[in-house]
A and B are shown apart, each in its own frame.
Chain A
Amino acid sequence: MSQAIIENSATDDISEGVLLDAVNLALHYEMAVDESVVVLGEDVATNGGVFRATVGLKDKFGFKRVMDTPLAEALISGMAVGMATQGLKPVCEIQFMGFIFPAFEHLFCHAARMRNRTRGRMSCPMVLRAPYGGGIHAPEHHSESTEALIAHIPGIRVVVPSSPARAYGLLLAAIRDPDPVVFLEPKRIYRTSQQPINNNGAALPLDTCFTLREGTDISLISWGACIPDALMAAETLQQQNISAEVIDVATIKPLDMRTILSSVVTTGRCVIIHEAARSFGVGAEISAQVSEKCFLNLLAPVQRVTGFDTHMPYFKNENYYLPNSEDIVAAALETFKE
């Protein structure tokens, strides 16, 4: 079992907030209770981050623990490896996922491998946070969703929250995890919906998908910014007397297939929705495992609703790239065709 301890906190501290607020609250909480947590990245200290995710941290914890780094992503992730091996817990912000690629060498060749290659003598408890995905009319290189590239690498955890409350609990879990975690924040839903967030320091598990809506006829499997679309699609399907189960994968790697399989075994139909390009994506992995493990339970072929195998279009056309609830409903209905 993963550490993923759900703590019962003595004090509830509930406030309404959006996903971005939840990230900020979790960072404040963990920096206050754990002195080894440090935050570093471009524009994170004085400016509070370009999305303001780290606002207030510098004033509360000082420049020593909240560091504006030089503009160098490889350096940020490499320094995090150095810090993590010396007893700190660095939480790095990569400003946009489109700029994460220089950080990959340190993440893949060192952070992910350090525990294994030293047989446990050293480890890299570090978090790389990055706003990810499209849908906010951002410039070129600011709308990528390449979680599959990272999930392919052994030794890393990949986490994508889809609501304020889950962002809070999952980020706490990511910081507390003893291994490297990439925490991808779907910026399309950074500020779209408010929800009560209990700032009680309770972490969520990193090894379990969340079943957001129970259903009996079809399983809609998704994560991140596509979750609101999946929930909307489930609502539409309900009007046609189709009962859809909606699963938020949330922890992409390691992937909790048990929750997904037990749902698909029950419903017999499966639609996987992700914003990333279609081929070789996380959806392909889920589909492969569904066919390996519950092929005979399937009543229809697995469907995928995804971005295209194109570059993310500039923002005038980005909505043609992004999956929406109509696309999901159409794919779901496809599974009911005789």
Chain B
Amino acid sequence: MTRLNEQAGHHALLDFHLEYIQFVNEDSEWVAERPSFATDEWLLKAYEYMVLSRVFDQKAVALQRTGQLGTFPSALGQEAFSVAVGLELQSADVFVPYYRDHGTHLLRGGDNAMSNLLLYWGGDESGSSYGPVQDFPVCVPIATQITHAAGAAAALKIKGSDQLVMVTIGDGGTSKGDFFESLNVAGVWQLPLVILVNNNQYAISVSRDKQCGAQTLAQKAIGAGVQGIQVDGNDVLAVSQAINEARTRANEHKGATLIEAITYRLGDHTTADDASRYRSAQEVKEAWLKEPIKRLQTLLNNLNLWDSDKEKTLQASSTNLVEEQVDIYLKTPTASAQSMFDHLYRDWPDVMNEQLDMLADKLERN
């Protein structure tokens, strides 16, 4: 704690501290005791989904490069973060995503999670018609989702539910007013809310050190009376541990938790971005040494849970799954032009008939 200037009337008031969670370091060594939830089966499931997420991600980028998908935000290198969120979400929880949560969607969105994501990024609204009825669709306007999550958490509390709302946000999003307003209400209303910051070090081109003057993003929680914690976001166990602790806190009616997960965006911001304009190849090379999939693979090897044959089989089955989903996506017929009117209001305003007729005329001309 800062020493006081007692001569000028200063007195001790409050002291804060912040913790960091890591179980497995970048050399795949245990730096803390293996937690009980991380059974062999759990570790293998986490690994399989992280690999699937990466295979999907790389395929999606390839589809974009060949003109078969719109702009796509790669989640390369952030698989541990989003898979941990997916693993820890309970079926009746509410998931409020941002736009780089592909790994979570794989665990959350059912059999067609991938084809639905492709539909969304491929320009078809039907991609967001999937998933648990309470989960939100992908959210593009930065940080807006966090106020929706606060509202959903308030709704759960009003209804007396024991479930949680989990919301994801990037490091850039923590600069926005919506972030602070939501954090504030989460603190004062003790909301059952877990705010997960994927601090991948970049908001498009603006690096973390240019985004915020605080030493951590987790400490933003302190000003709102919310529990904050930082975790190694490339350690799937650390992210899960933090979420589990947050759930316990919420269940004990102790309110919300802000989890800052330290990751690194190994890819471009989106397929429309060129990250070489603003960061060095050397920096990216160093980040690859900490990436989550290799780290977990080595751990599994060390635990005698994995070998090269299993790896080959997993890569092949993941590729097959992704290709099947790509096939569904590519074969999904484009919705009719009139579908832009279908879900505007539940109750059709007759005054809109004229505009339907205008579209029909336009279709006839084309």
List residues of A whose CB falls within 8 A of some B CB: 1-4, 38, 64-65, 67, 69-70, 72, 74-75, 77-88, 90, 102, 105-106, 109-110, 115-123, 154-155, 157, 177-179, 207, 254-258
Quick check: is B126 within 8 A (CB to CB) of the other chain? yes
- Check A119/B128 contact, CB under 8 A, given A2-B347, A70-B181: yes
Chain B residues near A81: list those with CB within 8 A: 147-148, 151
Tell me, in angstroms, the Cα distance from A67 to B144 when the chains sit together: 21
Partner of A115, one of B96, B177, B343, B349: B343
Quick check: is B261 within 8 A (CB to CB) of the other chain? no
Known: A75-B182, A116-B342, A118-B129. 17 other contacts (CB 8 A): A70-B181, A72-B184, A74-B177, A80-B151, A81-B151, A82-B96, A84-B151, A85-B134, A85-B136, A86-B94, A86-B134, A86-B151, A88-B155, A116-B343, A123-B346, A207-B349, A254-B345
Closest to B352 in A: A254
Chain B residues near A82: list those with CB within 8 A: 96, 147-155, 165
Tell me, in angstroms, the Cα distance from A90 to B152 when the chains sit together: 11
Q: Closest approach, in angstroms, between the C-beta of A216 and any C-beta of chain B?
A: 25
Are the C-beta atoms of A207 and B134 separated by less than 8 Å? no
Quick check: is B133 within 8 A (CB to CB) of the other chain? yes
Residue among A80, A102, A122 with most chain B CB within 10 A: A122
Are the C-beta atoms of A83 and B128 separated by less than 8 Å? no
Chain A residues near B150: list those with CB within 8 A: 75, 78-79, 82
Closest to B187 in A: A70
B54-111: which residues lie under 8 A (CB-CB) from chain A? 94, 96
- Check A88/B158 contact, CB under 8 A, given A83-B152, A119-B343, A120-B343: yes
Are the C-beta atoms of A70 and B185 separated by less than 8 Å? yes
Chain A residues near B136: list those with CB within 8 A: 85, 122
Tell me, in angstroms, the Cα distance from A100 to B232 when the chains sit together: 40
B324-348: which residues lie under 8 A (CB-CB) from chain A? 340, 342-348
Tell me, in angstroms, the Cα distance from A178 to B344 when the chains sit together: 11
Are the C-beta atoms of A85 and B148 separated by less than 8 Å? yes
Are the C-beta atoms of B351 and A256 separated by less than 8 Å? yes
Chain B residues near A155: list those with CB within 8 A: 344-345
Listed A/B pairs (10) with beta-carbon separation below 8 Å: A75-B184, A79-B154, A82-B148, A82-B149, A82-B152, A83-B152, A110-B141, A122-B136, A177-B347, A178-B347
Are the C-beta atoms of A179 and B345 separated by less than 8 Å? yes
Are the C-beta atoms of B184 and A70 separated by less than 8 Å? yes
- Check A86/B352 contact, CB under 8 A, given A115-B346, A119-B125: no
Quick check: is B350 within 8 A (CB to CB) of the other chain? yes
Closest to A256 in B: B351
Chain A residues near B277: list those with CB within 8 A: none
Chain B residues near A118: list those with CB within 8 A: 125, 128-129, 137, 343
Quick check: is B312 within 8 A (CB to CB) of the other chain? no
Chain A residues near B345: list those with CB within 8 A: 115, 155, 157, 178-179, 254
Chain A residues near B182: list those with CB within 8 A: 75, 78
Quick check: is B156 within 8 A (CB to CB) of the other chain? yes
Tell me, in angstroms, the Cα distance from A81 to B159 when the chains sit together: 16
Chain A residues near B18: list those with CB within 8 A: none
Tell me, in angstroms, the Cα distance from A141 to B149 when the chains sit together: 30
Are the C-beta atoms of B144 and A78 separated by less than 8 Å? yes
Residue among B165, B177, B184, B343 with most chain A CB within 10 A: B343
Closest to B134 in A: A86
Tell me, in angstroms, the Cα distance from A73 to B217 when the chains sit together: 24
- Check A105/B156 contact, CB under 8 A, given A70-B184, A82-B148, A119-B129: no
Closest to B182 in A: A75
Residue among A78, A102, A123, A207 with most chain B CB within 10 A: A78
Tell me, in angstroms, the Cα distance from A65 to B155 when the chains sit together: 10
Are the C-beta atoms of A86 and B184 separated by less than 8 Å? no
Quick check: is B48 within 8 A (CB to CB) of the other chain? no
Are the C-beta atoms of B147 and A75 separated by less than 8 Å? yes
Partner of A207, one of B133, B156, B350: B350
Are the C-beta atoms of B125 and A1 separated by less than 8 Å? no
Quick check: is B26 within 8 A (CB to CB) of the other chain? no
Closest to A65 in B: B158
Residue among B133, B147, B346, B350 with most chain A CB within 10 A: B147
Q: Closest approach, in angstroms, between the C-beta of A184 and any C-beta of chain B?
A: 19
Partner of A86, one of B130, B156, B343, B351: B156
Are the C-beta atoms of B144 and A110 separated by less than 8 Å? yes
